[in-house]
Amino acid sequence: MSFQYLITNYQRKNLRSSMIRLLLFFLFLCFILLLSSGLISCKDTQTNPSSEIVFPNDSVSFTKHVGPLFQQKCASSSCHGGGAQNTSGLNLEYPSYNSLLNHTGLVIPGDANHSTLVQHLEGSLSPMPPPKFPQLTQNQINGIKTWINEGAQFN
């Protein structure tokens, strides 16, 4: 075996190793770019249509509809969860019934139009959820209004 052969073989292995490292680095950069652009997200369960909560036209239940919706759309988005740092101080982690009713003016049982929760959801006060987050459907907003107008019961 000649000295020239050893050097050439070493250079091929080194070149192959460098190309693999370069490819891995490129893939890593692509992943970081996708992650930072929001195309890959850990919180995408909020927009999953199969998990969308649909409200009935009447007899809205806090435990079946309202509570799970707030858990899914509000508490899990890191805005109104237990560790959330938000200016409202509202924690909607389940069970959130007491949080809703103890937050002055947020829910006025029997009067959805004067409940600030509805005003936020409809956008007449600062919109909730904020525009950069998945929005509630009209069915969900109407369902919350129905639940409040029906007395905002813990049912």
Is residue 31 pLDDT above 60, yes or no? yes
How many residues does the structure list for the chain?
A: 155
Q: What is the pTM of this model?
A: 0.63
The mean of the pLDDT values for the chain is 78
Is residue 155 pLDDT above 80, yes or no? yes
Task: Count Cβ atoms below 10 Å from residue 66 Cβ, excluding itself.
Answer: 27
Residues 94/67, Cβ–Cβ less than 8 Å: yes
Q: 137 or 31, which is more confident?
A: 137
- Say what the pLDDT of residue 72 is: 81
The string of pLDDT tens digits covering residues 1-25 is 665 665 566 666 777 777 788 778 8
Of 31, 38, 34, the residue nearest 133 (C-alpha): 38
Question: Can you read off the two tokens belonging to residue 72?
Answer: 């899914």
The string of pLDDT tens digits covering residues 79-93 is 766 655 555 667 666
